[in-house]
Amino acid sequence: MAALTPYPSLTDYQRFADAVYGLNNRRHFTADEMLTNILRFTMRGLKGIRKGDPEKVRMNMTIAISWTMSLLTQLGVDLERHVWERFPYRCSYCGQCPCACKAKKVQRRVKVVVDPRRRPRTIRDLQVMFNEIYPASSRTLEHAGIHLAEEIGEFSEAVMTYRGNHKDAEFDKVILEAADLYSCFMGVFNSLGIDYEKGLVASFKHGCHACKHIPCECEYQYVVNFKS
C-alpha cells in the first residue's frame, strides 16, 4: 500500500503499518521490545489526560496503536477480524447495545449471534460502533483512561505469558486482549470527541509520521528516543 487514504478499514491500516514499519521492525525489534513501545506511548497518552492535553493524548495513543498493529502483524493476528468477533455491534460480555452490564448486574458472559450485515467497514465506523456499545456520555474521561490502563496491563500480561510458554490457549488470550485493548483506545477517543481516523490519516498520509517515507527511514536511536 503506497499511502493511507481516507476511510481505511482496520485491515487496510494494519497492512499500511507493515509496509511502513515492517522492515525496520523485523530488523530491529523483538515482540517484547514492541510491547515496551506500546506501553510507553500509551502511558504518555494517559499523561495527556491528566494534563488536559487532548492533542498529546491523540498523538501518543495513535503511535501506541501503530506499535500494536506491528506487534500483531508479527504474531500473525488479523485485528479487524478479531475485533468484530469480540464485539459484533454488542458488548462482549452482556451481548447488549448499549452495554447493560452495570444496569442488569450481568454475572456471566452470554453467547452473541453475529449479524454480518452490521459489520463496520471503516475505522471510523468501528469508532462509531464502540460509542454506541459503550456511550461516552455514560462515563467520564478519567474512567475511560483507567479502563485503558487496566486493559494495557492485561494485554501485556497475555503477551508475556504466551512468549514464556508458547501455548495455543495463551495465544488465544493475546487475541482477545488485543480486541479489548482496541475497544479501550476507541473509548478514550470517544470520550475526548476525537475523530481517530481523521487524525490517523493526517499523521500517516505520507508514510511514517516522522520521516514521511515508505518504508520508514528513521534511524534506530531516533525511534527508541522519540517523544511526542
For residue 155, what pLDDT is reported? Answer: 98
Per-residue model confidence (pLDDT) at position 198: 96
Cell numbers placing 128: 462509531
Residue 35 in domain: yes
On whether residue 114 sits in a domain, the answer given is no
The per-residue pLDDT for 136 is 97
pLDDT of res. 94:
94
pLDDT of residue 2: 67
Tell me whether residue 167 is in a domain: yes
State residue 113's pLDDT score: 80
For the chain, how many structural domains are there in total?
1
Q: Report mean pLDDT in 10-residue bins for the chain, 228 residues.
A: 85 97 96 97 97 97 98 98 97 95 87 89 98 97 97 98 96 98 98 97 93 96 93
Predicted pLDDT at 1 = 54
Q: For residue 195, what are the domain limits?
A: 10-109+120-224
2 lies in some domain: no
In a domain, 147, yes or no: yes
Query: How far is CA 95 from each of CA 134, 136, 177, 190, rounded to the nearest angstrom?
Result: 12, 18, 18, 20
Whether 148 maps to a domain, the answer reads yes
Query: Domain for residue 3, yes or no?
Result: no
